[in-house]
Amino acid sequence: MSENCSRTLDRSWRKSRIAARILLRHEAGKTTTRDVRLAELLAADKGVTSRLIDQAIHGIRGRAYRLANERRPAA
């Protein structure tokens, strides 16, 4: 893969993670005007796909689940 292509994918992945965090904040009812503005910009970006956003959401939720289970006291 060329360096230019990998740089573009990295940007898209980062933007998708930001979009996923905004969606999770929206579900929690904690959106700000800045979040809405960013969401509009990210929605117009062709590199930010629903597939990447879904992967990011699952990654964020999965990490929270793993951390919660690690902190549980042993029986």
Is the pLDDT higher at 63 or at 27?
27
Res 68: pLDDT:
77
Name, in order, each residue with C-beta under 8 angstroms of 61's C-beta and a sequence gap of 6 or more: 24
Res 20: pLDDT:
96
Question: Which value, to the nearest 10 degrees, does the dihedral of the CA atoms of residues 25, 26, 29, 32 take?
Answer: 80
The whole-number average pLDDT for the span 20-49 is 96
Which tokens belong to 24?
Answer: 């999770």
Distance CA 75, CA 69 (A): 13
* pLDDT > 80? residue 46: yes
Res 74: pLDDT:
62
